[in-house]
A and B are shown apart, each in its own frame.
Chain A
Amino acid sequence: MMVDYLALWRAMLIIGVFSYALWKESPYFRFCEHAFLGSALGYTLVITIKTINTTAVFPLVSEAKIIYVIPIILGIVLFLRYSNSTKWISRWPIALIIGVGTALGMRGVLYAYIISQVKATATASFMTDNALTNFNNIISVLTTILVLLFFTFTVLKGEKEGSLMFQLRKISRLMIMLTLGAFFGSITMARLTLIAGQIKELLIAFGLLTS
């Protein structure tokens, strides 16, 4: 039987990482950890240079778009942060990223986080032909309103234990717990699937499973 040495090598790396959980922290695990960090950083360096080449150097050199000199200079200026005397100017390119990123972020959340969500809640009909749909829409709207109430961190005048607002906040906490429970169920599937993928690689490497 042909032995796939590369698959065995990869299996040894997986076992090295898993040894942290299945055995204990050891030089084997630390070797794998630092090999990962080193190769990840090397890969990031290559990809970073490539993307700068694609988005900035190529238009400057091949299409003579001289204006691309400005972002290239700003990008190089970022590295002046390592000297105390020039640190001040490295804040300018950061300011560009922050200013543009913040504005785009605000633009984006306006539709996706606010308008779309409010529209979905406001257009939920309670008078369709399907009783289950009506019930679901009522629960949906009530849950949205209750959870929004919970995030109102101002204590309203007259609010005390036993008051209507207090009771509503208790119910809204329970609805948030349902949301978190669903999240936990999804995370569990995510993490277990990742381990399953690695177990499959190990079984294939040791000849117990064909790919």
Chain B
Amino acid sequence: MSGIQSRNIPVALVFVCGLIVTVAFFIDVPMLSSISDSLQTWAVIVSGFALGLGIVNMLAIHSRHISRKTSGQWPFSVVFILFFLAQAAPGLVDIKTLSNPIYVWVYTNIFSPLAAAMYAILGFFIVSAAYRAMRARSLEAAFVLIAGIIVMLKNAPIGAVIWSGFPVLGTWILDVPSAAGNRAVFIGAGIGTILLGLRVLLGYERGYLGGR
């Protein structure tokens, strides 16, 4: 396919869609607002389809493992497919209300507890980090540690029992220097977002087009 169709039309589309939505925000022209509203609604709908891309990819990867009998992996890919079907099939049967008992059972007793546990396991690595990595090797590192410990003792009720000043100091750190630092970071990020957005709209950033 020629470069014009393959890459330049999408870049032009990005520019046109972005321009309409941006200008409609600043200038009140009914027809422009109407087109902008439609584009936003369409983008929401197309985003829904985009979720399906990840599903197709994952199914393809695990199907390949099963067909090639990848050593040490293929039995778990079978587990993956089985649980995928166990969750998806009953839900698709009753897509209107999503009250199929098997669908509800699987997400209550398999997906939900596993999701919660998968995120919770990160807590153990905070312990490792605290022991191995949180070392005051410089003045700056010491500042991080001291602020972190004070905020922790503000969050934990026992901090107030150890010293009544910890909650006061911890709240002060969050309300004053931390909030102010975040403000500056957000201002910088905002300027960066606008500049990057302009680069995307003007076609200088084309990473979203993917490979050839």
Query: How distant is the Cα of A142 from the Cα of B76 in the complex, in angstroms?
Result: 56
Residues of A contacting B82 in the complex (Cβ-Cβ under 8 angstroms): 38
A109 contact from B14, B39, B40, B190, Cβ within 8 A:
B190
Residues of B contacting A9 in the complex (Cβ-Cβ under 8 angstroms): 109
Query: How distant is the Cα of A9 from the Cα of B106 in the complex, in angstroms?
Result: 12
Is B181 within 8 A of A43, CB to CB? no
A182 within 8 A of B: yes
Is A147 within 8 A of B55, CB to CB? no
Is B79 within 8 A of A113, CB to CB? no
B29 within 8 A of A: no
A13 within 8 A of B: yes
Who on chain B is nearest to A32 by CB? Answer: B114
Is A182 within 8 A of B151, CB to CB? yes
Is A38 within 8 A of B149, CB to CB? no
Residues of A contacting B27 in the complex (Cβ-Cβ under 8 angstroms): none
Residues of A contacting B5 in the complex (Cβ-Cβ under 8 angstroms): 88
Is A102 within 8 A of B111, CB to CB? no
Given A40-B111, A92-B10, A178-B181, do A197 and B21 touch, yes or no (CB 8 Å)? no
Is B21 within 8 A of A99, CB to CB? yes
Query: How distant is the Cα of A197 from the Cα of B188 in the complex, in angstroms?
Result: 37
Is A38 within 8 A of B83, CB to CB? yes
Given A139-B176, A139-B177, do A96 and B109 touch, yes or no (CB 8 Å)? no
Is B92 within 8 A of A109, CB to CB? no
Is A55 within 8 A of B200, CB to CB? no
Is A39 within 8 A of B83, CB to CB? yes
Is B201 within 8 A of A102, CB to CB? yes
A93 contact from B49, B181, B193, Cβ within 8 A:
B49
Residues of A contacting B162 in the complex (Cβ-Cβ under 8 angstroms): none
Given A10-B109, A34-B83, do A144 and B184 touch, yes or no (CB 8 Å)? yes
Is B188 within 8 A of A95, CB to CB? no
B186 within 8 A of A: yes
B148 contact from A48, A49, A181, Cβ within 8 A:
A181
Is B40 within 8 A of A18, CB to CB? no
Who on chain B is nearest to A107 by CB? Answer: B25
Is A38 within 8 A of B117, CB to CB? no
A67-123 CB contacts (< 8 Å) to partner B? 67-68, 70-72, 74-76, 78-79, 81-82, 85, 88, 91-107, 109-110, 112-114, 117-118, 120-121
Given A92-B10, A100-B39, A179-B177, do A192 and B209 touch, yes or no (CB 8 Å)? no
For chain B, the count of residues having a C-beta within 8 Å of the partner chain is 124
For chain A, the count of residues having a C-beta within 8 Å of the partner chain is 113
Residues of B contacting A72 in the complex (Cβ-Cβ under 8 angstroms): 45
Is B14 within 8 A of A182, CB to CB? no
Is B49 within 8 A of A194, CB to CB? no
Is B58 within 8 A of A13, CB to CB? no
B143 within 8 A of A: yes
Query: A167 to chain B: closest CB distance in Å?
Result: 14
Is B80 within 8 A of A68, CB to CB? no
Query: How distant is the Cα of A40 from the Cα of B39 in the complex, in angstroms?
Result: 30
Given A71-B41, A102-B200, A185-B154, do A37 and B113 touch, yes or no (CB 8 Å)? no
28 contacts across the A-B interface (CB closer than 8 A):
A18-B117, A18-B121, A38-B82, A39-B83, A40-B111, A42-B106, A52-B45, A55-B45, A78-B52, A92-B9, A94-B208, A97-B46, A100-B39, A103-B197, A112-B190, A117-B183, A117-B184, A118-B187, A140-B179, A144-B181, A144-B184, A147-B181, A174-B140, A175-B180, A181-B173, A182-B151, A184-B151, A194-B120
Interface residues of B (CB under 8 A from A): 1, 5-7, 9-11, 13-22, 25, 38-56, 58-59, 76-77, 79-89, 91-92, 95, 98, 103, 106-107, 109-111, 113-126, 130, 134, 139-141, 143-152, 154-156, 170, 172-191, 193-194, 197-198, 200-201, 208-210
